[in-house]
A and B are shown apart, each in its own frame.
Chain A
Amino acid sequence: MEILRSWVQVLVALVTNGYWAFPFTRALYQGPLKVLCSPGLNCYSCPAAVTACPIGALQQLLAGVRGTMAAGQHFYGFYVVGSMGILGAAFGRMICGWACPFGLIQEVLHKIPSVKLPVPGVLRHAKYGFLLFFVLLLPLFAVDRFGFGTVWFCKYVCPAGTLEAGIPMLLLQPELRKSIGLLFWSKFVIMIFYLGWSVFSSRPFCRTTCPLGAFYSLFNRFKLVRLRLHEDRCTQCQACHHVCPMGVKFNENPDDRECITCLACMSKACQYGAISLEIGGIPLSGKTISAPQEVR
């Protein structure tokens, strides 16, 4: 299952970054596919990107909402939130585990042999702050005298943008290099921080900072595809605790918002068939063992 997930991650990363002519054109993909929102965090200023980053697109729409209203247009972000919500309600944070290029990068870095450290649990709440303030409120309300906001998360935080777009674009378009200033270097340090942290801790950006992961996590109780705990089969052996890359204690909280449905607990840990995958309430898979007696 882990191998399948790795292949899916690579495939999605290649498909959402499928404009491989960029080394020759030295420009972004400008075709119609960019109207679609990517499922994971994938900067649309990445020269290979063929889809739009939903977090970037939403901030752009909110930052320009006054300007577009003045022009008689009404762009409030329904299309982007609708796209994110459809994916979130169907898959929740499974997208983080299976379809996010920046999640894949963090996973690869975490394979580097080193001391492995947990991510402090309290930091998991920070990502909701980034979603609320940096993606929604600040772009909408912190506006200049002309009524235009800015893309706060992209501009001041997003390490995916620096890695996938900033550095490649500076390499492709040397004339941009003269614009480098404090802002770029501060984002560069942030990127190095998260990439370095990924070596020691599993998916630190996803767990503490990612606003898209925070949004998808809101669906963990209502999503269509999710893991299910069969309480009658669980022996409380806690094997699922040890394999979870997100620090979820699945047998204690099967609806944990951190669960990325990577299926490691189901396929690698649980020997008792206590965890299965379900779609809309219908069990899809899981280890089949002889059904135990109902305990109630």
Chain B
Amino acid sequence: MSGGKATGTGAGTRSTRVPAQKARVRLAPFLVILFFVALFSIGVALEEPGRVLEQAVSICLSCIGIG
């Protein structure tokens, strides 16, 4: 069943191409999420959500191709 061993180990594929090994928690996703939570928070502090809401509640004529 395991006779056909995969051969490619390119750097771009190594992260999810794993031989049998113990599961280990990956930190990278949490760090990336944290970075974007920080961006999100900066946006909230700058009151961007209000602007997004203001734009989203009116018809965007450009978006629908008649503006």
Chain B residue nearest in CB terms to A47:
B59
B15 to nearest A CB, angstroms?
Answer: 6
Of the residues A56, A83, A166, contact of B65 by C-beta under 8 Å: A166
B39 to nearest A CB, angstroms?
Answer: 4
B36 touches A89 (CB 8 A): yes
A237 to nearest B CB, angstroms?
Answer: 7
Interface size on B, residues (CB 8 A): 55
Q: Which of A59-73 contact B (CB under 8 A)?
A: 60-61, 68, 73
Q: Which of A12-40 contact B (CB under 8 A)?
A: 28-32, 34-35, 37
B60 touches A45 (CB 8 A): yes
**Known A34-B57, A222-B28: A79·B66 in contact at CB below 8 Å:** no
Residues of chain B contacted by A74 (CB below 8 angstroms): 46
B20 touches A294 (CB 8 A): yes
Of the residues A75, A151, A183, A226, contact of B16 by C-beta under 8 Å: A226
Residues of chain B contacted by A78 (CB below 8 angstroms): 39-40, 42-43, 46, 48
Q: Which of B29-67 contact A (CB under 8 A)?
A: 29-30, 32-33, 35-44, 46-53, 55-67
Asked if A105 is at the interface of the complex by the 8 Å CB criterion, the answer is no
**Known A61-B52, A85-B35, A280-B26: A295·B2 in contact at CB below 8 Å:** yes
Residues of chain A contacted by B60 (CB below 8 angstroms): 44-45, 56, 60, 151, 154, 165
A116 to nearest B CB, angstroms?
Answer: 27
Q: Which of B11-26 contact A (CB under 8 A)?
A: 12-13, 15-20, 23-26
Residues of chain A contacted by B57 (CB below 8 angstroms): 28-31, 34
A222 touches B29 (CB 8 A): yes
A140 to nearest B CB, angstroms?
Answer: 16
Of the residues B5, B28, B43, contact of A80 by C-beta under 8 Å: B43
Of the residues B3, B25, B64, contact of A45 by C-beta under 8 Å: B64
Residues of chain A contacted by B1 (CB below 8 angstroms): 233, 235, 272, 289, 292
Binding site for A on B (CB under 8 A): 1-6, 8, 12-13, 15-20, 23-26, 28-30, 32-33, 35-44, 46-53, 55-67
Closest 3 CB pairs of A and B: A79-B43, A82-B40, A85-B36
Binding site for B on A (CB under 8 A): 28-32, 34-35, 37, 43-45, 51-52, 56-57, 60-61, 68, 73-86, 88-90, 150-151, 154-155, 158, 161-162, 165-166, 169-170, 176, 179-181, 183-184, 186-188, 219, 221-224, 226-237, 251-255, 272, 278, 280-283, 289, 291-296
5 contacts between A and B (CB under 8 A): A28-B57, A30-B57, A181-B66, A231-B17, A231-B18
